[in-house]
Structure formats: C-alpha cells, structure tokens
Structure 1
C-alpha cells in the first residue's frame, strides 16, 4: 500500500493558518480581559459601586431609621465592601430585634430583613405601661398609653417575679393568652406566688404562678361548663372550683320572695 506523501510546501500554509488562529485567540482573550478590567475600574470609580438605597422589612415597633442607623450602612459605603454577617450582628444588638439578615441586590440595593420580639405582656408602673418582650426584657425607655395586644402586670415589684410570670405566659396557647386582661400579683401568707387575673370575658381567676400555665391551659374547657349568665371567680390555686358573684342562696331567696309577691 502506497503512503501519501505531503510536501513541505503544502504543509506550510496550513501551519501558518493554525498559528494565525492561535494568535488571534490569544489576542481576543487578552483584549477581553483588558476591557473587563477597564470596565471594573470604571464601575468601582462610579456611583454604581456605592449603595444607592436601603429598604427595611419586617419591622413593626422599631423604626426603619433606627435599624438603618444601627446597621452603619450609608450611601457612601461601597456595595461590595459590606460585611453582611457583621451588619446583622450590629442590628441584633437592639433589644427588640430577634434576628436580622442583610441581602445585597444588584446593582447597589440593600435589604435589611428583621424579626422582632413580640410583646408578651406590659408592666404597669406609676400609671404607665412598659412592654415586656417574649425574652423577658422590659423596655424601660418605651411606654404605651393603652395596651391592647397583651396582658398588663400590676403590682409586680421584683424582676425575678416578673421573669417567673413571663416564663409561664410563654407556655400558654395564644387564644388563652389573648383572653387575659390584667394579672395582679396578690401574695398572701399561704402562697407568695398568688395571682389575681381579670379576663376579657368578664370572669376573674385566682391562681398560683407555680402551676399557672398547666391550669390556665384548661381555662376554655372550664368556662364552657359554666352558665354563660353567671359570672364570678374561677379558683385554680390548688383544686378547681367556681365562686359565683351572686350566691346560689341569695338567688333562691329572691325567687321565693318574687313568688310570694305574685301570690
């Protein structure tokens, strides 16, 4: 079998073409990198590389301006220089912020997403109401006029007692927690943890902090078994019993007197 012989003259054009193509590819790659570097330099020198706007989401009680201030982000900051982890930690130093996340949105927008602690109760002091967060922190520098979203603690003078009460409130179902209007600390000789509750449905409850959540979680069941026209005090200190505002004997006597009058 004869081998095909390619002369050197025939091979040279092909080699030259291959070299030219290789050189062109290198030139294109070099020019692409060069122009990319130029664009990056222009970008970082332009206002586009700075933070243009900041949005705060998820806040209810803490003002957006305060959250932005705590983040230490301004429109003079470089967009890519912002440390999202460190910024989140700065925002979470606020007593009412449970968690914060920082999101960068190209080309230069920042989103601060926060999750606040809920107010689980309010502490009454000299006619003003101070929010108590679900983590037990009392916001002493913030007050509200008329609390409507959580129970009011009245006559609570010791921080440790407040913390005990808050720990019990956190164990309640949302429906029962929302049904409590006021919780008065009413210690006596037999029970230093006695509390007197005023409920939104018109009942009163006497209970002990030590067994509060366990017994109060049965409140709805207890009320469902009572005459809706008979209001009074539900005792949950040791056992469970109902004390009507109007004694049964008085009611019966009134009925008898009415019968005699009619007769």
Structure 2
C-alpha cells in the first residue's frame, strides 16, 4: 500500500513542476513580447521626432527666405548703382538713359520686371532707339544694349529740317547737320520712307559717302533717284533697289579713273563726265 500510494504522489509532484515550468516560460515570453513592443514604440517616437523636426526646419527655411527677399526688395541694396550702355553709335549714354528713364537709384527688380515696357517707351521717347536689351551684370548693376535707328539724312519739309531715320521715320533736327540731304520728296512721303529704309541697309562707310539724294521721277522711270556722292560722282538708282545696288559702289568707283556717273537703275555700269559730253 505504501509503495502504491507513493507513485501517485510522485506523479502529482512532477505535474506541479511541469505546470510551474510552463508558467515560467509563458511569463518569459510575455516579458520578451512586451520588450519588443516597447522597442517598437520607442522607434516610432524617434521617427516621429526626426520627421517633425525636418518639417519645422523646412518651414523655418521657407519663411526665412521669404523674409530675406522682402528685406532685400525694400532695402537700398536693391537699387541701381551702375548703368553701362553698349551698342550705341550716334546716341550718347545720357540720351539712352533719358529715353529709358533708367537712372541710378531706381529699384533694380522693378527695372527687370518691366524691361519690355521700358524698351517700348524708350522708342516712343526717342525714335532713334530701336530696341533696348537689359541684363543684370551684378547685384546693383545693369547693362543696356542699344539697337539704333541710325540717321540716314535730313530733309526740309515746310521750312523745317527733319532727320530721316533708317526706318523711314522723321525726327526734328537739332542744330546743324552734316548728313545726307534729301530733295524732291516734299509731296512724296511714301517714296521718302522707302528710300530711307533702303539707305538704312547700307554700311556706314557707303552711307557716309552720300551728299544728296534727289527724287527725280520720269515717265519711264517713276522711281528714279539721282544721288550726289561726296567724291564727285553721280549715281542713278531706283529707290526700291538702291540699298542693295549701292553696296557695290565702292568697288565700281575704284575702277573709275575720272569722276563720272554710275548707273545702277538696270544693271551696273559707269562712265566719266567727259565721255558723256562727247
């Protein structure tokens, strides 16, 4: 009996040990699981901390940049302190600045924002200004590149002298002019404009050699021009083609031994005054 009763007691003791071990393992697993969850929670908190910090930094940089830009716009640092004029031949830098109204002290951002309007206004104020190109050369410096409508001569209309620009536009002449004189166009404004545009296509070296352009139409040649050169030669030309054909005048004149006539109306040939008289 004692031996038989001992075996069940032993089994009960073994069962208790097994139960305790299972409880211990379950407790350990629960602790490990809690530790893993804690690590995950701490990782999420760290991630959120860095991402929130990055967002705050971006906002600070954005608003800081806007603030600096606003301060620059209203500060003296954004005013023009230097203006350089290039491309001008007949116009002085002062005339270009007066036409554009771009003076020292203007806000540079305002000038660059309205540069197309400035170019249009400059042409209206001074027709010799064909176009203005503005560009920044520094934080407070500008360069204005001018494309001119050169003066190709003068004409007297209604007892007043006018400069004729390369685009055919007239401009009141100021002072004495030593340029091309246009004659015979008093009642023919359209022909005067066509002639001026043609002459404006010539190189300055050829254009400067012209003394007078006279419009002398005939029944057979309604567009005839008689051009008196400063070297003593006379040129017959057509007002529709004079810009193209007169470009060859220097090479033709170089072959002439004596002063004479260069006929460019149809083809191109020359002869001296003496031979024509004969």
Q: TM-score, normalised by structure 1?
A: 0.66
Q: Is the CA contact (8 Å cut-off) linking 2:87 and 2:147 kept in structure 1?
A: yes
Deviation at residue 204 of structure 1 after TM alignment: 2.9
Q: Which residue of 2 is the match for residue 25 of structure 1?
A: 54
Q: What SS does the aligned partner of 1:112 have?
A: strand
Q: Is the CA contact (8 Å cut-off) linking 1:182 and 1:197 kept in structure 2?
A: yes
Q: Which residue of 1 is the match for residue 186 of structure 2?
A: 157
Deviation at residue 171 of structure 1 after TM alignment: 6.5
After superposition, the CA RMSD in angstroms is: 4.2
- Aligned residues, how many? 242
Could you tell me which runs of 5 or more consecutive residues in structure 1 were left unpaired when the two chains were aligned: 250-263
Distance in 1 (CA, whole Å) between partners of 2:136 and 2:58 is 31
Say if 2:133 is the partner of 1:133: no
In structure 2, relative to structure 1, the CA distance for the partners of 1:19 and 1:58 (3 Å cut) is same
Aligned counterparts, 1:1-263, within 5 A: 7-75=36-104, 77-81=106-110, 82-93=113-124, 94-123=126-155, 130-147=162-179, 151-154=180-183, 156-158=185-187, 159-170=189-200, 177=207, 179-185=209-215, 195-206=225-236, 209=239, 228=257, 230-234=258-262, 242=271, 244-245=273-274
Q: What SS does the aligned partner of 1:60 have?
A: coil
Q: What SS does the aligned partner of 2:57 have?
A: helix
Structure with the higher helix share, 1 or 2: 2
Q: Is the CA contact (8 Å cut-off) linking 1:128 and 1:145 kept in structure 2?
A: no
Deviation at residue 192 of structure 1 after TM alignment: 6.8
Could you tell me which runs of 5 or more consecutive residues in structure 2 were left unpaired when the two chains were aligned: 1-31
